[in-house]
Amino acid sequence: MAALQYSLLLSFTLSALVSTVLAHNITDILSGFPEYSEFNKYLTQTKLADEINTRQTITVLALNNGAMSALAAKHPLSVIKNALSLLVVLDYFDPTKLHQISKGSTLSTTLYQTTGNAPGNLGFVNITDLQGGKVGFGSAAPGSKLESSYTKSVKQVPYNISILEISQPIIAPGILTAPAPTPSSVNMTALLEKAGCKTFASLLQTSGVIKMYQSAADKGLTIFAPNDEAFKAAGVPDLSKLTNAEVVSLLQYHATASYSPFGSLKTSKDPISTLASNGAGKFDLTVTSAGDSVTLHTGIGPSRVAETVLDSTPLVIFTVDNVLLPVELFGKAPSPAPAEEPVSAPSPSPIASTPAPAIVEAPSPLAASPPAPPMETPGGAPADAPFGSENSTADGNAAVHVIAPVQVTVFAAVICSILMS
């Protein structure tokens, strides 16, 4: 028993240590660097900060206040989000690794590629080690130039998060010129029907709730749309027996008056209010996440967030696997059957049949980011370029790489010796 308790305590301690090492908060990190305050502000406004914080291995290519202000002055928030998502690389690069790129050049996936808005390989960036210790960044689209360059290291937590400053945004073809739809101009019902949510779209139109959605969209709106199969599932009540007011409340329960993209949902800890919320704890939703899966809980049953139909700041539309049934409308449990009166003469008790356990399908994880497409090294990209003035920074980072695992090992050894004494 003592050995089992020791093993469990040690496992718990190591798990806590690993979680601590991997955890990061991009907003808190950048708050210590006032020269990136504008960049930090827009990461928060676009909710990219939430997405960054859910990733265990990531590199953020930061823009100083001058470069960020120049980008923000010319474009709406939805375009700024696309441009900044191209600066979030789903791999770890520190100054040392930048100068040790195989064959001098590589393509890396960014958050922009995971949005579904990047055709082809426009969501990848080209990172190339140049002559004289310089490193260039550019779009992976054929013919694109390396117009941005590495300026300096900001912060590294090996091998969790790295923040590097670059000279200017990386511009993929069309990323700044494509007109971003405004929430008021989005045809929500057409998008929902195309996504396989025709029943939900029809209910929104016949009830008039679609107008509530449209009026709320400009200030921020997140919609959880059940697919058509969800309305046919066992346990879904007959909606024709609901009053008009109850139908309206049910549909309002499927939206929240805030912009909450997938990354924000994954980091959500508190209950979230819906358009139907009319008091403390009334018509709220709770959220849990496991890996890349996010589940909504109503108090009656769970519903997995399946796909992103639209993510255009400040409007996002998701499909969900089940109809969200609020306890305020459907939470009354059936009354238990009254106990039978005892009989005077004992009689054999009938053998009770054991009901078969309900089978609950585990939620499937969301689609993973596609791998980077193969591409030859750009012509003339030199390898083995000199480090130049960055040797001291690279060496410092390399030293940190060793310290974090050693600290975990030493801490675990101390715990073991204490428990065994």
pLDDT at 364 over 50: no
User: What is the rounded average pLDDT for all residues in the chain?
Assistant: 79
Q: Which residue has the tokens 């960020």?
A: 68
Segment 109-136 mean pLDDT: 88
The reported pLDDT for the residue numbered 23 is: 67
Is residue 128 within 8 Å of residue 381, measured between CB atoms? Answer: yes
Tell me the per-residue pLDDT of 291-305, one tens digit each, with 9 for 90 and over: 889 999 999 999 999
The reported pLDDT for the residue numbered 267 is: 85
pLDDT at 7 over 80: no
Name the pLDDT band for 332 (thresholds 50, 70, 90): low
Between 67 and 178, name the one with better pLDDT.
Answer: 67
Question: What's the whole-model pTM score?
Answer: 0.62
User: Considering only 254-258, 313-317, 372-376, 383-387, which range has the smallest mean pLDDT?
Assistant: 383-387
User: Considering only 43-47, 256-260, 371-375, which range has the smallest mean pLDDT?
Assistant: 371-375
pLDDT at 180 over 90: no
pLDDT at 339 over 90: no
Q: Which residue has the tokens 């929240």?
A: 256
The reported pLDDT for the residue numbered 77 is: 87
Segment 206-212 mean pLDDT: 96
pLDDT at 161 over 70: yes
The reported pLDDT for the residue numbered 181 is: 66
Q: Residues 208-216: contacts with CB within 8 Å, 24+ apart?
A: 208/248, 209/248, 209/251, 209/252, 212/252, 212/275, 213/188, 213/255, 214/183, 214/184, 214/188, 216/255, 216/257, 216/275
CA–CA distance, 30 with 37 (Å, rounded to integer): 7
pLDDT at 338 over 80: no
pLDDT at 90 over 90: yes
Between 116 and 204, name the one with better pLDDT.
Answer: 204
The reported pLDDT for the residue numbered 78 is: 86
pLDDT at 414 over 60: no
In percent, the amount of the chain with pLDDT more than 70 equals: 72
Q: Which residues neighbour 1 within 8 Å (Cβ) at sequence distance 6 or greater?
A: none
